[in-house]
Structure 1
Amino acid sequence: MTQELARRIALTIGALLLFLLGTRVPVTGMWTSSGSLPPGAVARLSIFALGLIPYLSAAIVIRLLSVVWRGLSSLERSGEHGRRRIARHTLILTLAFATFQAYGIASAIQRIPEIAAGADGWFAVSATASMVGGVVLLIWLSEQITSHGVGNGLALILSVGILVDLPNDVAGIVDLVQRGAVSGNLVLAHMIFWVVVVVLIVFVEGARRNVRVEFSERRVGKRVLSPRAAVLPIKINNAGYLIPVTVAPWIFYLPLAFASFVFGASTPWVAAAYVHLQLGRPAHMILISIAVFVLALFYTAYVVDPEHAADSLAKHGGVIPGVAPGEPTADYLDRVVSLTTVVGAVYLTVLQLIPEAFVASGHALPYNMGGGAALVVVCTILDLQSQVRDLSLTDPGGERQ
């Protein structure tokens, strides 16, 4: 292990420990008349109670706007200056989201005297400020990990937040088995199922459709680059996870919320719609599957631009064997991307349906792990492994050993 790698690992561990410590610090002014907080209240109402959700929501909104707003899309692709402006817009929107959510939570806490004993008019302000500050601190920690530590800071904090609940979930399941409330065979079936899911995620996330490319001899300045062969790797899952799965529920829940506001939540058809759109209901499973599948296709079409790739190949003297440069190359790449995207969309849809399938079948167990959480954790570990391997082969001077 190099000295640089050891320093980065130490910084990453320290940042994650600070995150875990923050989940045990209650928001300002939250205290009970007995002098102690109810069990579990600290974790749920800490300064990090909002987590990274406001930041992720803002980033998703900015990304969606860039899909439909050409000016924002151009800014996103205009280099470092454009990325800084996008980051600034994302942070401003994050603060707006965090303030709105934090004030709503603080107002709800203020109405519970058992939790916020003796709360005055400043409680909502101070509690809101502490939660918004917690979001800003988490963003800063994630940036420090990404820049000076090991791995992606956002993904690591999300993964630690998921994994930290696993021991309690396992202890609860063991207790249910010991009391005979849950069959041991069911628990074993869940364990085998998740092993298969993890293997599937590792396989799909590492899979690539390699398109062979040949580069002709060309001159770059005073250098002459000899002919060479290479591959253009195309991922199976180019859409990621957050955009399709986060936006999918908005497609039918936002119109339903608007209908509830206009016609009233007690209107029979609105109330019936809410019932049928609950987790595990057939209508919800069908609609969420269609939404995730379609969003994965559309978002991949935005992320992977065959025309841009074809132009880039032509600019650097690259051709796909048997395919003419220009528009034929773009059409060929479009067909390849379309086929792989369909496979990736089905993969994301299956992962999204895992918790609902358990609920619908009546074989659910009391744990919070879902297909999306497993995807985040596994991808984070794979990325961490890759970065550690690269850094372990690099000396402090930045040269490979």
Structure 2
Amino acid sequence: MDKLITIFKIPELRRKILFTALLLAIYRIGFYVPLPIVNQAQLRNWEEQLSTNAAGKMFGTVAMFGGTSIGMSTIFGLGIMPYISASIIFQLLGSVVPALEAMQKEGESGRKRINEYTRYSTVVICVVQSAFWVQYMMSDQMGVVLPQYRDFWHGLVSVCIMTAGTVFLMWVGEQIDEYGIGNGISLLIMAGILSRFPVALQGLWQSASTRLTPEPGQLGIIQLALLAILFVGVIVGVVAVTESQRRIPTQSAKHVRGRRVFGGSRQFLPLKVNQGGVMPIIFASSLLIFPSLIFNGLAKATAGLKTEAWSIGSMFATVIQDLADSFQRQSYLYTVCNIVLIYFFCYFWTAITFNPKDMSDNLKDYGSFIPGYRPGRPTADYLEKVMLRITYVGAAFLAVVAVVPSLVQNFLNVDFTVSQFFGGTGLLIVVSVCLDLVQKIDSHLVMRNYAGLVNRK
């Protein structure tokens, strides 16, 4: 508690924290400002119906990535996901397009140009996504737009409002980066995830029971105790693996200048076990939406073939319907596909973000080397071999974290709103952002000769 009080004793740090909290409050207030064309009563009924089926889980998972909600009928309805998508696209293109790769190596000026292109791409993505969403809201299938507003001009105004909302959130994130503390975009996503926590606690409280053998649909004392232990255990495991490193020893060459000898010190090169971060889970979850949509469409198209007895068409329609149900219920097949995709994107993302040749060249330029390996190609091959091995462990960790919510929901009979806080992308994002925020606050304290938050003394 003394360390927390010390944070607010430093005027500059106090201003940064209060400024960040103010912008996060504005961000949350915007989610309660609806679009003028939407019938809010019909929208609430639609959200309640969607939350009870498997499609609601899928939409809820995707909405969580961008810090938004399933309904998306407010001025901040698109969240910050269009900016994240544009950033990922340019990061992937940076390793493929030579011009972007050259910009990345130019330093600060190159990064500014790439950020400018990212902002323009964000506006384009916002216009496309908001146009599709407004058109879907105006359709008879959803039916949440008042009849007198189902025309082109009101739709265009809604698209402009949602696009301007996302651009404003992008500006808010940049202001937090410059004048606040922490990574602005990550804090916005974390705020959107944590905003669901009171709803999850309310649902858990309503289904809680003081009996050892509760009634169907309720949670007894043993189940609540298991949930509490599991919650703490998952957080401890996520923190441990997120902070874990593979430290490769390095040694700098000795330099003789006059009568003095410089260098020769032994250091280490840290390689994170979870190099991909949360991106592999996001890619895998987003990609698994398409099989569900495709199989559902095929199931509706082949529904009439089931009337034929013992025919190829009937068997094909039955198989398609089973596949559609498996992906909607997130059953065994969905889990296996999710784990395979997580492993694939872990290695894919690591191959893009980690370049052993550049790292080997940097060690050589600074006069350092790995004992037992010659500078150049042997060092690069050794770094690549080590990264392949630790990526396998990191992918296994991400696979476990992604599967935990489904296991909690199925075995403990817990609502999906509660189970998603026991693992998955949400918990991983919250823990990663909190660790980054603590490290930045700690650096401010240490720079002013205060004891850091992670210092035991």
* TM exceeding 0.5: yes
Q: CA RMSD for the aligned pairs?
A: 3.1
The equivalent residue for 2:103 is 75
User: Following superposition of structure 1 onto structure 2, how do residues 188-227 of structure 1 map, counting pairs within 5 Å?
Assistant: 188-218=225-255, 225-227=262-264
| Contact 1:280-1:360 within 8 A present in 2 as well | no
Does 302-311 or 275-284 show the bigger shift?
Answer: 275-284
Q: What letter is aligned with 1:297? A: Y
Does 197-206 or 278-287 show the bigger shift?
Answer: 278-287
Deviation at 1:389, TM superposition (A): 1.2
| Contact 2:78-2:126 within 8 A present in 1 as well | yes
The equivalent residue for 1:248 is 284
Pair 1:92 & 2:120 matched: yes
Give deviations 1:115-149, integer Å, cap 9, x for gaps: 53632532211111111111111111111111211
The 3 A distance-change label for structure 1 pair 124 and 391 is same
Same amino acid, percent of matched pairs: 27
Question: 400, 424, 434: which is aligned to 1:381?
Answer: 434
Partner Cα separation in structure 1 for residue 322 and residue 439 of structure 2 = 49
The equivalent residue for 1:399 is none
| Contact 1:186-1:363 within 8 A present in 2 as well | no
Deviation at 1:342, TM superposition (A): 1.1
How many residues were matched structurally?
390
| Contact 1:172-1:366 within 8 A present in 2 as well | no
The 3 A distance-change label for structure 1 pair 113 and 341 is closer
The 3 A distance-change label for structure 1 pair 226 and 107 is same
**More relative contact order in 1 or in 2 (CA 8 Å, sep 6+)?**
1
The 3 A distance-change label for structure 1 pair 51 and 4 is same
The 3 A distance-change label for structure 1 pair 130 and 329 is same
Deviation at 1:328, TM superposition (A): 1.8
Partner Cα separation in structure 1 for residue 120 and residue 105 of structure 2 = 20
Partner Cα separation in structure 1 for residue 322 and residue 339 of structure 2 = 20
SS at match of 2:32: coil
Pair 1:372 & 2:408 matched: no
The 3 A distance-change label for structure 1 pair 250 and 365 is closer
Deviation at 1:31, TM superposition (A): 5.1
Deviation at 1:229, TM superposition (A): 2.0
The 3 A distance-change label for structure 1 pair 219 and 277 is farther
| Contact 1:279-1:356 within 8 A present in 2 as well | no
Give deviations 1:32-73, integer Å, cap 9, x for gaps: 6x9x98589897421111111222222222233334434433
The equivalent residue for 2:15 is 7
Partner Cα separation in structure 2 for residue 25 and residue 251 of structure 1 = 31
The 3 A distance-change label for structure 1 pair 169 and 251 is closer
The equivalent residue for 2:380 is 330
| Contact 1:23-1:46 within 8 A present in 2 as well | yes
| Contact 2:274-2:391 within 8 A present in 1 as well | yes
Question: 291, 300, 323: which is aligned to 2:350?
Answer: 300
Deviation at 1:187, TM superposition (A): 2.8
Pair 1:116 & 2:116 matched: no
SS at match of 2:371: coil
The 3 A distance-change label for structure 1 pair 302 and 104 is closer
User: Following superposition of structure 1 onto structure 2, how do residues 8-23 of structure 1 map, counting pairs within 5 Å?
Assistant: 8-23=16-31
| Contact 1:145-1:152 within 8 A present in 2 as well | yes
SS at match of 1:81: helix
Structure 1: runs of 5 or more not aligned: 397-401
SS at match of 2:378: helix
